[in-house]
Chains A and B, each alone.
Chain A
Amino acid sequence: MKPASFEYFAPTSVADAVSLLQEHGLEAKLLAGGQSLVPLLNMRLARPTVVIDVNRVDGLSYVREDGDALAIGAMTHQREVERAELVQRVNPLLHAATRLIGHPQIRNRGTVGGSIAHADPAAELPAVALALDAEMHITGPNGEKAVPAADFFVTYLTTTLEPAEMLTEVRVPALPQGTGWSIQEMARRHGDFALAGATVTLSMNGGMCSDARVVLFGVGATPLRVQQAEERLIGERVDAALISEIGREISSSIDEPLADIHATSEYRRNLAGVLTERALVEALGRAA
Chain B
Amino acid sequence: MTFEFPKSLDDLPISSPKWVGKPVNRVEDPQLVTGKTEFIDNITLPGMVHCAILHSPHAHARIKSIDMSRAAALLGVVATLTGEDAERWSRPMYTTPQGWGGYVLATDKVRFVGEPVAAVAATSRYIAEDALELIDVEYEPIDPIVDAFSAAQPGSPKVFEEHDDNIMYQRVFTWGEVDESFQKADHVYKESFRWNRVGANPLETFGVISEWDLVDDTLTCRGAFQTASFMAMGRAATFRLPSNKVRFIAQPHGGSFGGKGGGRGTDITLMLSRKAAGRPVKWIEDRMEYLSSGGSQAWDRHYEASIAVNDDGTVTALRVKLLDDMGATAEGFGATGAVKPMASFTGCYAIPNAEYDLTLVATNKLPASPYRGMGPPPHNFVLEQMMDIAARDLGLDPAEMRRRNFIPADQFPYIIASGNEYDSGEYEAALDKVLEMAGYEQLRREQEEARAQGRHVGIGVVSTIEPGVFDWNAYTVIGTQGIGIPEGVTVAIDTMGKITARVGFALEGQGQYTVVTQLLAEYFGVELEDVRVVLADNLSAPPNFGPGGSRLGVAITGAVLGAAQRLTEKLTKVAAKLFEVQPEDVELLDGMLRVKSVPESQLSVANAAAIMLNRSDMLPPDVDPSPQATFAWTAPGRVEPDEQGRVKSYLTAANACHLVMVEVDPDTGQVEILKYYIADDCGTRLNPANVEGMVQGAVAQGVGATLLEEYVYDDDGQLLTASFMDYLLPTIHEVPFPEKAALVTPSPFTPLGAKGAGESAIHTTPAAIMCAINDALLPLGVRAKEVPASPNRLWKLIQGASG
Which residues of A line the B interface, CB within 8 A?
1-5, 43-44, 186, 188-192, 195, 261-264, 267, 270-271, 274
Contact = CB atoms under 8 A, between A and B. Distances in A.
Interface in B96-147: 125-126, 129-130, 133
Contacts of B125: 2
Contacts of A270: 667-668, 795
A256 to B, nearest CB: 16
Interface in B756-803: 790-792, 795-796
Nearest to A247: B667
Given A1-B286, A267-B796, A188 B126 contact: no
Interface stretch (B445-453, B596-604, B614-622, B724-732): B724-732
Contact of B728 (A1, A188, A263): A188
Interface string B734-768: 10000000000000000000000000000000000
Nearest to A3: B126
Contacts of B792: 262-264, 267
B668 A271 contact: yes
Given A43-B288, A262-B792, 12 more contacts: A1-B286, A1-B287, A5-B126, A188-B790, A188-B791, A189-B728, A189-B734, A190-B733, A261-B712, A262-B790, A270-B795, A271-B668
A18 B564 CA distance: 73
A1 B730 CA distance: 23
Nearest to B728: A188
A110 to B, nearest CB: 15
A191 B733 contact: yes
Contacts of B712: 261
A280 to B, nearest CB: 14
B126 A2 contact: yes
B708 interface: yes
Nearest to B289: A1
B720 interface: yes
Given A1-B288, A43-B288, A274-B667, A261 B721 contact: yes
A190 B126 contact: no
Nearest to A196: B668
26 contacts: A2-B125, A2-B126, A5-B130, A43-B288, A43-B723, A186-B791, A188-B708, A188-B728, A189-B731, A190-B731, A190-B733, A190-B734, A191-B733, A192-B728, A261-B710, A261-B712, A262-B726, A262-B790, A262-B792, A263-B792, A267-B669, A267-B791, A267-B795, A270-B668, A270-B795, A271-B668
Interface string B281-306: 00000111000000000000000000
Contacts of B728: 188-189, 192
Nearest to A190: B733
A2 B133 CA distance: 12
A4 B130 contact: yes
Contacts of B730: 189
Contacts of A4: 130, 133
A190 B129 CA distance: 34
B670 interface: yes
A261 B130 CA distance: 31
A47 to B, nearest CB: 10
B668 A274 contact: yes
Contacts of B286: 1
A189 B733 contact: yes
Contacts of A274: 667-668
Contacts of A191: 731, 733
A60 to B, nearest CB: 28
Interface of B: 125-126, 129-130, 133, 286-288, 667-670, 708, 710, 712, 720-721, 723, 726, 728, 730-731, 733-734, 790-792, 795-796
Nearest to A264: B792
Contacts of B734: 189-190
B708 A189 contact: yes
Contacts of A188: 708, 728, 790-791
Contacts of B721: 261
Contacts of A192: 728
Contacts of A5: 126, 130
B456 to A, nearest CB: 15
B234 to A, nearest CB: 28
Most buried by B among A3, A43, A263, A270: A270
B465 to A, nearest CB: 31
A188 B733 CA distance: 11
Nearest to A186: B668
Given A1-B288, A186-B791, A261 B733 contact: no
A207 to B, nearest CB: 28
B497 to A, nearest CB: 47
Contacts of A263: 792
A267 B793 CA distance: 9
A197 to B, nearest CB: 12
B553 to A, nearest CB: 32
B787 to A, nearest CB: 15
Contact of B720 (A186, A261, A267): A261
B195 to A, nearest CB: 17
Nearest to B666: A274
Most buried by B among A1, A44, A190, A263: A1
Nearest to B710: A261
A183 to B, nearest CB: 16
B155 to A, nearest CB: 31
A287 B297 CA distance: 50
A134 B185 CA distance: 70
A186 B726 contact: no
A191 B668 CA distance: 17
A2 B125 CA distance: 7
B790 A186 contact: no
Contacts of B733: 189-191
A192 B708 CA distance: 12
A189 B288 CA distance: 20
Ordered nearest first, which 10 A-B pairs have the shortest CB separation? A190-B733, A1-B286, A274-B667, A267-B792, A2-B126, A261-B712, A2-B129, A261-B720, A188-B728, A263-B792
Contacts of B129: 2, 44
Most buried by A among B129, B286, B721, B792: B792
Nearest to A278: B667
A264 B795 CA distance: 11
Most buried by A among B288, B723, B795: B795
B731 A261 contact: no
A40 to B, nearest CB: 11
A261 B726 contact: yes
A1 B284 CA distance: 10
Nearest to A193: B725
A106 to B, nearest CB: 12
Contacts of B726: 261-262
B130 to A, nearest CB: 7
Nearest to B727: A261
B131 to A, nearest CB: 11
